[in-house]
A and B are shown apart, each in its own frame.
Chain A
């Protein structure tokens, strides 16, 4: 069965029309067909959260969505966060708080947090930990991830954005 369907999907604001096999996972579509390799694949059974992307603005695991299901929808990946090489406030906070080590799980964590912070502008530590409880990290022990989110939250509250890493890319 080589069931190929043509889909039109908006990824990071750009429309893409592609013929895909119905079984193609969204994670593979993004990484292989579109070359957006910032979305990482860690378990392909929906536990590790590394492949988290936004589907119509909500965080989902791209290994548990078929690419064909995104026909007519909008997807955002980690590549959408920085603008012209300038890190967004959350990325900047991760840099400043040493919130990543190997960085493999990081895109998934960022994409989980981006919409969540919109709905939770003043979270406490437990809230933050719950929000990322579906993202496994083997390097950091999570402490600096939590600190990074707290830092981003406090800066956003102060109306400050950007940071020292923003100038470099």
Chain B
């Protein structure tokens, strides 16, 4: 029993780490010769990937998976809320400037 659980944790960790490494790939595709360029696609996908990671941490590491429904919904709502705030401030800020 415990081994299956720990394998699950290992897989979760591997997924999180590979998502982190995906950033390196993103970074390499967008930058040319070390000069950074603004990119809405990169910004939005960086935020979205980070929030997916946050949700995985909530569900798996923090064991919300086994928690009562209200906590599942609350944490999901929170991820959505954070996403709305971050993307909202990014787009509103871009529109203003």
Query: Is A bound to B?
Result: no
Residues of A within 8 A of B (CB): none
* B positions within 8 Å CB-CB of A: none
